[in-house]
Amino acid sequence: MPCMKGLDMTLSTRQINLIYSTVIFLCFMPFISPAIALALGIMFSLIGLKHHNINKYTSLSLQASIVLMGFGMNLTQVITASKAGFFHTAISVVFVMGAGFLLTKLLRVDSKTGLLISGGTAICGGSAIAAIAPVINAKNYQISFSLVVIFVLNAIALVIFPVIGHHFNLSQETFGTWAAIAIHDTSSVVGAGATYGAEALQVATTVKLIRALWIIPLTLFIAFTQKNRSEGKVKIPWFIGLFVISITIAYLFPSLKPTYDHLNWLGRRGMVIALFLIGSNISLAEAKKAGVKSFILGILLWLLIGISSFIALTTI
């Protein structure tokens, strides 16, 4: 691909800096979604437009975004939520992670890619992947491919879940719980809930919030089980501690909610920037390593949690 490599050579460092700065600025705009940012980054990579010094900020931007997004977690809602919601999310997280581990081995998927897809399916899509990736030292192609799988399935779920719910005449509460458990990203859960009804939206948002908090124990568990093989040491995810602190601060000082809303917005936009950086640093050769089997893994896990949770919620 000499022509792709050549593009980077024909632009000066100043021009590349300007292009990247412009895109990063646009990432703060509402019309640039996480999926669009990732696609832009991948496009830059494919045409050879790479910023060779920006890769070192990817992990930092992911971690900082997770911490800032903690200010948007309403711990009061979680505490007052029903025990059933906590039970459902606990079972689903353990079930998906266990199934993901077995399917990763069975399909012979790269272990880190499999862990990212499993974590994204079990908890909250891109946010979970962003939290887990720095802990396991995931490579850009592993992160980006996992995110692509999650984004595609999210888009499908947003369209078909309300249709399925109406077809089976699910109650508002049942649909909200199902959507919160079986759909990956919070935005898609909210979208599906809002489409179905006001009560479904409220239930889906609350249960999804409980599910999202599983980022904390899951990331810590992975940190203590995925030791640095060369040094035999545990890599402590200190940013998860800061994430907990941000949630706690928002809970203890509710009068500062307008400030927390701004910090949460900054975190969500920071995640968009991080996805752009991740996409811009992959290569076709690396992407091919992920393989079709990784996508099959994501689809199987999605169908597994979607069908099993539907049956559990409608028969029990």
pLDDT means over runs of 10, the chain (316 residues)? 48 84 93 86 83 76 86 75 70 92 93 93 86 87 86 86 94 92 85 88 84 87 70 63 88 91 92 85 67 88 93 86
3-state secondary structure of 16: helix
Q: Are 114 and 146 in contact (CB under 8 A)?
A: no
CA distance 237 to 305: 28
Under a CB-based contact definition with an 8 Å cutoff, are residues 131 and 214 in contact? no
Question: 123 near 211, Cβ under 8 Å?
Answer: yes
For residue 72, give the DSSP letter: G
- Write down the pTM of the prediction: 0.79
Beta carbons within 8 Å of 59's beta carbon, 6+ residues apart: 133, 134
Total domains in the fold of the chain: 1
Residue range of the domain that includes 104: 2-315
Residue with tokens 């479904």: 200
Measured distance CA(249)–CA(290) in Å, rounded: 39
Residue with token string 């992911």: 62
How large is the angle between the packed helices 126-136 and 111-122, nearest 10 degrees? 150
pLDDT, residue 17, reads 86
For residues 219 and 131, the answer to whether their CB atoms sit within 8 Å is yes
Compute the distance between CA of residue 104 and CA of residue 146 in angstroms, rounded to an integer. 13
Pair of tokens at residue 181: 């458990």
